[in-house]
Amino acid sequence: MTDMSKPLRVTTTPIPGFLRIDLTVHGDNRGWFKENWQREKMIALGLPDFGPVQNNISFNDGIGVTRGIHAEPWDKFVSVATGRVFGAWVDLREGPSFGAVYTTEIDPSVAVYVPKGVGNAYQTLEPNTAYTYLVNAHWSPDAQYTFLNLADETAAVPWPIPLKDAVISDKDRAHPRMADVTPFPAEPERGRRVLVTGANGQLGRELMARLPEAGFTAVGVDLPEVDIADAAQMDAWDWSAHDIVVNAAGWTDVDAAQTDEGRRMAWRANAVGPANLARQATRHGLVLVHISSEYVFDGTIDVHTEDESPSPLGVYGQSKAGGDAAIEAVARHYLVRTSWVIGEGKNFARTMTALAERGALPKVVSDQTGRLTFTTDLAAGIIHLLSTGAEYGVYNLSGEGPVVSWSDVAKCIYATRGRDADDVIPVTTEEYHSGQEVIAPRPASSVLDLSKIEGTGFTPADSMERLVAYVRGLTP
């Protein structure tokens, strides 16, 4: 008889990741009602947010129908709509828990969560039993299963109805014993499988180096092989292999974005691509990290906070603001706004260092202010947000330290390389761009308020100290 007094509860079992769920059943003389699947309540109690996409029902006429043991390439949430079964599960995943067994009876007041690779079997204990299960991948005839024989002596499942008296298919009778089973391949830890887009860029390369050090499994993609602005390609991508997407891709040539061709390319990379990722993140329950820019502001406010409304001056900033709007529609997102990025590859610090070595007298803008952001700090801050489970939302992330102008940065580089800092000639933005045909407007202030991310326990390094160390490490 179904127990109608149990509160909703999620409990662990000897099989890692395999959970038993006690369901609350409400009944009277008419029958009963239960919330068989209630995402919000169950996730709050510890059930993974596994994103089911298909509901299947197996109806069994008689007592003793026995099916399994099948380890399938998707996660399952199993219960019964009517009747009662004896359930048996054997961990067939590669690793130390291979062969672990758990059994229980399932009536309408019980459900179980079965991770991918755990062998699943049941035996009906009542006639007219409807065995129902949610899965997080669509069934395919090409899916690869791992099987174990129902009568395996190592697992020694205590079937209530002896297998000689049970109703079993010929296929299930022919499954191999434990010694002959090829284990289901081990997977990276769930929740830590990261896809990095724009992996060949300055930040992308830094993330690909640092994510594994922090215990994440990272896969990097970039143009031309993977184009996030191609909706069909994004629809066809196997998102089940990822838990997190870090979008480090983007069009960053702010002046070229003002041209007819550049405008189309900037919007495609900075708005269409993020919108495609946002749609997939929502569809597949992914965490989406997106890199934004202070160019979404006009720079008339001295210090930019996370809640400042966008006011972009040029096409680049406008396209970034468009992408940001799409990202913020995703339930689980980190929109990381940064400025003046320096990493491996072509950048302002390398250019100024080369000029210093040649003895050049460069003119450098003095009326745009901000702080440099080294990719070491940017990547570390992103990993911090992911590792600590910080509240989702928008975070400013640049280097710490003094607010400086581009000419201040250049003077520091010259001095660090043993040149006279006065060789750098400060000029206004208008003077610097005099005579150039296509110039994007720049925000006068790129200074970001860092109090929100520092409140999570992450404080970036002093950007000017970082600059000195970086320039000293550059070869002439």
| Residue linked to tokens 């070595």 | 357
Q: Is 73 exposed, middle or buried (0-12, 13-18, 19+ CB in 10 A)?
A: middle
What is the CA 114 to chain-centroid distance, rounded? 22
Residue 79's H or E segment, with its range, is strand 76-82
Distance CA 295, CA 441 (A): 9
- The residues facing 113 across adjacent strands are 19, 77
Q: Are 25 and 1 in contact (CB under 8 A)?
A: no
Q: Where are the alpha helices (DSSP H) in 96-190?
A: 170-173
Q: Is 70 a catalytic residue?
A: yes
Annotated catalytic residue, options 70, 284, 392, 433: 70
Token pair listed for 161? 């109805």
Annotated catalytic residue, options 102, 133, 414, 432: 133
Distance CA 476, CA 170 (A): 74
Q: Which of 271, 318, 270, 273 is nearest to 297 (CA)?
A: 318
Residue 208's H or E segment, with its range, is helix 202-213
Distance CA 127, CA 60 (A): 7
Q: Is 133 a catalytic residue?
A: yes
Q: Are 387 and 189 in contact (CB under 8 A)?
A: no
Residue 21: strand, helix, or coil? strand
Beta strands 25-28 and 31-34 are: antiparallel
Q: List % helix, strand, coil for the chain (3-state, nearest 5).
A: 30, 25, 45
Q: Are 120 and 114 in contact (CB under 8 A)?
A: yes
Which residues are annotated as catalytic?
Answer: 70, 133
